[in-house]
Structure 1
């Protein structure tokens, strides 16, 4: 594969690109709402050692590297975007395979996985699309298998509908994606409606654009590189500051949420 493969949406103006791909273009690699710490807690509870693992929408492959470090029996990434699939394949190397397919229609066999992992994919879709992707994950799992997700959450569970609607509209304007985050109770209900049993949940602050989180997730050198790229690109800087303002304004209502659910035997 070509190691110089473009970041998805690389040809789009900074003003128009989806927020996560804009950040990737600026050098950010950890694009999960709860950060690398929540991802690692999620993977630990997913029990990946010796497991056949399928990851839905691996993106740039950052989580795939963490999954492979857990010594699974096999790893398959399913990525719809061809450019992202190339990036993921570069990240995982010959130890794994990447399939170009939709997360709701992977084309993989029934009951082929002990664990299915998906991060920051369900949030970006409608309720109907969420349901289809969760059903596909359940189809891929063997009895007793685990479905592990890390998504954007809302809190508290009793947040009123008017506040949810206003927050989602502001998010959509800022990140250029029609994101639909849910409360922890709502995420749990979606998994349970698919016949899965939620066994573990956790949350973390939604601090994607805070300096402390970036130092922890990316390291000092990479964080400085990201800041330099933002400072050199006026359009990107306006977008990043706009996203940061929305995240900060709603910091008490937004969070990263992780859940592990088991398919009953």
Structure 2
């Protein structure tokens, strides 16, 4: 890259061209990597009510949401991630305010019925149908009756979107972000949760504007936005990838959205069960 060192890319990738999109952005200094930005994350957490709760976060990444959760004053916080770079970053960030465990979102190794809240953001989108089901099954296992499962994911719009457009959008995303992303419509996300016995309480939306200037400022602040922009200017190869991602997001903006859902695990005598 014209004699300039590549950005440090977490996630085990050494080639900027092959790095997963979210890790590339993290390596360039972007801290908010959720499709609906920090605003939708805060809306999600308000519905999940982590205050005084035992919280498990699945795949917390670099810990941006973990910071919001522990600031709310949970009784306990456990983050479960399988990526060593994420574990190191989260451990350093949390200190004594929470625990970090290496594990898979579909098999955490945590005790059953040990959580009041399970949070997962931009996680299910990155998996196929079988793995989505396994992760949700694990979340349900972890929850106590009445506990809340809160997710923030990439959505397809509208609910009546054709199968062909779904395929086209998913393929465009996979080519650009180097992840086989499988977003669903809001109705499909709700149906997926209810198929696992959960009751959906809240559905919220935000534009999918991850790389738009206004969202960057809202998520990263002025200093963070300038740092990210400066890194883009210095790293030509990374800049080319990020601009390609932005073009795909913009080209498909009528069919991409961010969706947040909060659902609860009913008690055995819950009439909504």
After TM superposition, the score normalised by the length of structure 1 is 0.97
Match for residue 116 of structure 1?
A: 118
Cα distance change of structure 1 residues 251 and 107 upon mapping to structure 2, 3 Å threshold: same
Match for residue 196 of structure 1?
A: 198
| Structure 1: segments with no counterpart, 5+ residues | 1-5
Match for residue 234 of structure 2?
A: 232
Aligned-pair CA distance for 1:252: 1.3
What does residue range 41-190 of structure 1 map to in structure 2 within 5 Å? 41-190=43-192
Q: Distance in 2 between matches of 1:190 and 1:80?
A: 24
Q: Distance in 1 between matches of 2:207 and 2:13?
A: 32
Matched, 1:8 2:10: yes
State the secondary structure of the residue aligned to 1:199.
strand
Q: Distance in 2 between matches of 1:218 and 1:186?
A: 31
Cα distance change of structure 1 residues 24 and 233 upon mapping to structure 2, 3 Å threshold: same
Aligned-pair CA distance for 1:51: 0.3
Match for residue 243 of structure 1?
A: 245
Match for residue 260 of structure 1?
A: 262
Aligned 8 A contact 2:9 2:19 in 1 = no
Q: Distance in 1 between matches of 2:199 and 2:205?
A: 18
- Offset from partner CA, 1:60-89 (integer Å, 9 cap, x none): 000000001111000000001111111111
State the secondary structure of the residue aligned to 2:266.
coil
- Offset from partner CA, 1:83-128 (integer Å, 9 cap, x none): 1111111121111000000000000000000000000010000010
Aligned-pair CA distance for 1:8: 2.1
State the secondary structure of the residue aligned to 2:180.
coil
State the secondary structure of the residue aligned to 1:12.
coil
Q: Distance in 2 between matches of 1:170 and 1:143?
A: 40
Q: Distance in 1 between matches of 2:266 and 2:97?
A: 30
Q: Distance in 2 between matches of 1:7 and 1:90?
A: 18
Aligned-pair CA distance for 1:7: 5.1
Q: Distance in 2 between matches of 1:139 and 1:109?
A: 8
Aligned 8 A contact 2:9 2:16 in 1 = no
Q: Distance in 1 between matches of 2:181 and 2:62?
A: 20
RMSD: 0.9
Aligned-pair CA distance for 1:11: 4.5
Aligned 8 A contact 1:7 1:83 in 2 = no
Match for residue 271 of structure 2?
A: none
Moved beyond 4 Å, runs of 4+: none
Q: Distance in 1 between matches of 2:12 and 2:225?
A: 20
Aligned 8 A contact 2:31 2:220 in 1 = yes
Aligned residues: 260
Q: Distance in 1 between matches of 2:231 and 2:18?
A: 17
Q: Distance in 2 between matches of 1:10 and 1:77?
A: 19
State the secondary structure of the residue aligned to 1:117.
strand
